[in-house]
């Protein structure tokens, strides 16, 4: 079985600040660090999730597991083809990576890709029996800072050790479906007043002709066209980073610098989530929640939102999210008009 490209972590000091420098060598011959016992659970000799994944003789490869292997290899190839420079990662770049020391897992959470339920699952796994059912954990509690440990909380040596020996997984989604989902959730729901005030008022001020005083004060009626204009406006990212709900996945999780062992997809969420839980040896302990949403954002819904976006802005937006399409093997949407 094809092994992941080797990587190693070095430390660099600059102006008193500590940075983690990931030097990702373009090699497929170096295996992940596989010790004889599970380092995540001292004293136990069972295989770690990483050992289970990469020791093919111990794992009967099902169709879904072959699919996960193919995605991993496609990501590696896309990184080789489309990224040329090595990057310096600071601790803040690791804030989206959640660590489960007990089970040897690292999960990079991506908003609008079932991250609430993944956080709930990890809270159950790390609760020592206090939580049993992920859905019994309120959604807002799952997002409270400090409930789960981030990789950025650890020392450089501890970060190094975990990146080498833990199973690292990520879940991704068709980029424009994720974007439309973020817009619907943050700008069309009356209860999201914080987003309306924080982002909606600025969007209305910059991208609406003759806005009403109420719209300038409330920011609660932003159209999808205005949202797209805000995203592609060069001033937006010059002033501040994108909010995590519409930030590109490659900017949140750095998949060409951090080798992800499992790339799950929202489109096959249930099967991929079960595969991760099996690798972690907890499929009998916790069940990944199934979605009960009847108005889930899919390609047809995304097409309806893009129908009123001009070809020029569609092209600009595609260029903005192009790397996510390329890295995670998503085709250009059929509804897109870029000419």
**What single-letter DSSP state applies at residue 88?**
E
- Do 91 and 223 lie in one domain? The reply is no
- Asked if the model's pLDDT at residue 253 lies above 50, the reply is yes
Is 306 within a domain? yes
3-55 pLDDT per residue, tens: 444 444 433 334 333 444 443 333 333 345 554 344 454 444 567 888 888 77
Burial of 102 (0-12, 13-18, 19+ CB in 10 A): middle
Is 89 within a domain? yes
Query: Which residues lie closer than 8 Å to 111 by C-beta, 6 or more apart?
Result: 182, 244, 245
The CB density around residue 244, as the number of other CB atoms within 10 Å, is 16
The rounded percent of the chain whose pLDDT value lies above 70 is 83
Lowest mean pLDDT among 125-134, 227-236, 296-305: 125-134
156, 20 contact by CB (below 8 A)? yes
171-224 pLDDT per residue, tens: 999 999 999 999 999 999 999 999 999 999 999 999 999 999 999 999 999 999
- Do 191 and 85 lie in one domain? The reply is no
pLDDT for residue 241: 93
**What single-letter DSSP state applies at residue 32?**
P
- Do 95 and 240 lie in one domain? The reply is no
- Do 170 and 188 lie in one domain? The reply is no
Lowest mean pLDDT among 68-72, 84-88, 168-172, 228-232: 84-88
Query: Which residues lie closer than 8 Å to 84 by C-beta, 6 or more apart?
Result: none
Q: How far is CA 103 from the centre of its chain?
A: 20
pLDDT for residue 55: 72
Q: What is the pTM of this model?
A: 0.87
Q: By residue range, what is the domain housing residue 183?
A: 176-245+298-325
Please report which helix (H) or strand (E) contains residue 23, including its range. strand 17-24
pLDDT band at 56 (very low <50, low <70, confident <90, very high): low
DSSP line for 255-286: TTTS--SEEEEGGGHHHHHHHHHHHTT-TTT-
- Do 91 and 226 lie in one domain? The reply is no
Of the candidates 116, 123, 46, the one whose C-alpha atom is nearest the C-alpha of residue 281 is 46
pLDDT for residue 292: 64
- Do 285 and 306 lie in one domain? The reply is no
Beta bridge partners of 171: 264
Q: How many domains does the chain have?
A: 2
- Do 113 and 227 lie in one domain? The reply is no
- Do 205 and 257 lie in one domain? The reply is no
- Do 96 and 222 lie in one domain? The reply is no
- Do 125 and 268 lie in one domain? The reply is yes
pLDDT for residue 254: 96
pLDDT for residue 44: 46
Is 224 within a domain? yes
pLDDT for residue 12: 38
The rounded percent of the chain whose pLDDT value lies above 90 is 70
Across the chain, mean pLDDT equals 85
- Do 120 and 233 lie in one domain? The reply is no
- Do 70 and 161 lie in one domain? The reply is yes
Is 190 within a domain? yes
Of the candidates 150, 154, 165, the one whose C-alpha atom is nearest the C-alpha of residue 11 is 154
DSSP line for 97-133: EEEETTTTEEEE--TTSSHHHHHHHHHHHTTTTS---
């Amino acid at each position: 079985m094809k092994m992941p490209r080797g990587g190693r972590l070095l430390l660099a000091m600059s102006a008193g600040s500590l940075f983690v420098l990931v030097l990702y060598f373009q090699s497929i011959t170096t295996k992940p660090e596989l010790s004889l016992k599970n380092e995540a659970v001292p004293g136990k000799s069972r295989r770690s999730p990483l050992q289970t994944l990469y020791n093919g003789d111990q794992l009967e490869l099902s169709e879904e597991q072959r699919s996960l292997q193919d995605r991993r290899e496609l990501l590696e190839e896309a990184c080789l083809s489309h990224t040329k420079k090595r990057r310096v990662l600071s601790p803040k770049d690791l804030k989206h990576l959640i660590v489960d020391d007990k089970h040897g897992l690292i999960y990079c959470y991506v908003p609008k890709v079932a991250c609430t339920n993944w956080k709930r699952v990890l809270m159950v796994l790390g609760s020592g029996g206090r939580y049993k059912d992920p859905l019994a954990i309120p959604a807002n509690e799952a997002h409270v800072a400090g409930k789960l440990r981030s990789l950025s909380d650890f020392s450089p040596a501890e970060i190094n050790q975990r990146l080498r020996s833990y199973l690292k997984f990520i879940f991704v989604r068709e980029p424009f479906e994720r974007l439309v989902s973020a817009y619907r959730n943050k700008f069309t729901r009356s209860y999201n007043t914080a987003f309306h005030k924080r982002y909606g008022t600025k969007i209305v001020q910059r991208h609406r002709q003759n806005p009403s005083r109420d719209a300038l004060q409330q920011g609660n009626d932003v159209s999808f066209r205005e949202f797209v204009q805000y995203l592609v406006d060069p001033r937006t990212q010059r002033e501040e980073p994108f909010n995590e709900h519409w930030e590109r996945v490659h900017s949140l999780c750095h998949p060409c610098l951090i080798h992800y062992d499992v790339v799950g997809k929202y489109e096959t969420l249930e099967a991929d989530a079960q595969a991760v839980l099996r690798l972690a040896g907890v499929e009998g302990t916790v069940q990944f929640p199934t979605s009960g949403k009847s108005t889930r954002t899919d390609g047809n819904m995304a097409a309806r939102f893009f129908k009123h976006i001009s070809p020029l802005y569609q092209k600009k937006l595609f260029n903005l999210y192009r790397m996510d399409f390329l890295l995670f093997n998503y085709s250009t949407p059929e509804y897109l008009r870029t000419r």
